[in-house]
Amino acid sequence: MIQCKTIDEIREQVTLLKKQGKSVAFVPTMGALHQGHLSLIKLAKAHADEVVVSIYVNPEQFGPNEDFEEYPRQLEDDIQACQEEGCSVVFTPDDEIMYGSDKKYLSIQINELNLHMDGVSRPGFFEGILLVVNKLFNIVDPDFAVFGQKDIQQVQIIRQMVREFNHNVEIVMAPVQRAEDGLALSSRNAYLTKEQRMVAPYLYSALKRVEAKIHDGLVEPEAVLKEEQEELEAKGFKNDYLNVFSFSVMAPVEKLEPGNKYILAGAAYLGKTRLIDNLIIDL
């Protein structure tokens, strides 16, 4: 496995692979790799001959009061994990490589797709993600790029960027990876205390109960969602959102209709740790 730190290095390595007739799958990460990330790498290997992983904590997607400084960083362990998973190349740029120090005049604007879900509570978050992913796609030029369903709003917005900006890459969404008790795997789970970790799976349980009622014929989920929010608050969660959203533009829906696809998603705090989770409802 080759580690590249500069844009020229990573472009040279990917060009060599493509000259050999190899297809390339790309897994962008912020490091602190866990089994969820490794599942993305495994899925990438199933789609392409070679896998490139980037490890970069992107400052542009962190708000002023978010955990940029505290975000877990374990580069040596991450590189070893990538090597053990059979990655061909790992790209580990720094801020100077990714953004430089010159004044910036251009930015990315998002309309509609970030008005709900995480876009409400994290202003500027998805603009920062699109900025770095757009850069990474231009740098790596992969055939496939793999993202996790846990961040489904991110996946949907990146898919739209690919369509509108004409990136020659196929987006692959990997299923949510969970602990045995159902908690969605996340680097931020490391922030949970032992007591909070015991409570954390209740967010997934709430989603599963709502999902079951929808498949039993519930078409107006507002009352059920409110009950589940109250139950989560009773267990110590501070709710951010819990709702059913359209699959395409991720706007809340009041009534479910057969033949449509929806996102049942929730976000809540346990202490200072923000947990997110979702299920895809296909009627």
Q: Which portions of the chain are predicted below pLDDT 50?
A: none
Outline which parts of the chain fall under CATH 3.30.1300.10: 187-276
pLDDT at position 63 is 86
Please give the CATH topology (third level) of the domain spanning 187-276. Answer: Pantoate--beta-alanine Ligase; Chain: A,domain 2 (3.30.1300)
Cross-strand partners of 13? none
pLDDT at position 70 is 87
pLDDT at position 137 is 98
Indicate the pTM of the whole model.
0.95
pLDDT at position 64 is 84
Q: How far apart are CA 83 and CA 236, in angstroms?
A: 40
- Catalytic residue IDs: 37
Outline which parts of the chain fall under CATH 3.40.50.620: 2-174
pLDDT at position 32 is 92
Closest CA to 245 of 236, 234, 256: 256
Please give the CATH topology (third level) of the domain spanning 2-174. Answer: Rossmann fold (3.40.50)
What distance, in Å, lies between the first and last C-alpha atoms of the chain? 44
Question: For 133-191, what is each residue's pLDDT tens digit?
Answer: 999 999 999 999 999 999 999 999 999 999 999 999 999 999 999 999 999 999 999 99
Q: How far apart are CA 92 and CA 5, in angstroms?
A: 5
Q: Which residues of 33-72 are buried (b: 16+ CB within 10 A; e: fewer)?
A: bbebbbbbbbbbbebbebbbbbbbbbebbbeeeeeeeebb
pLDDT at position 42 is 98
pLDDT at position 66 is 87
Give 216-250 as a DSSP string: TT----HHHHHHHHHHHHHTT-EEEEEEEEETTT-
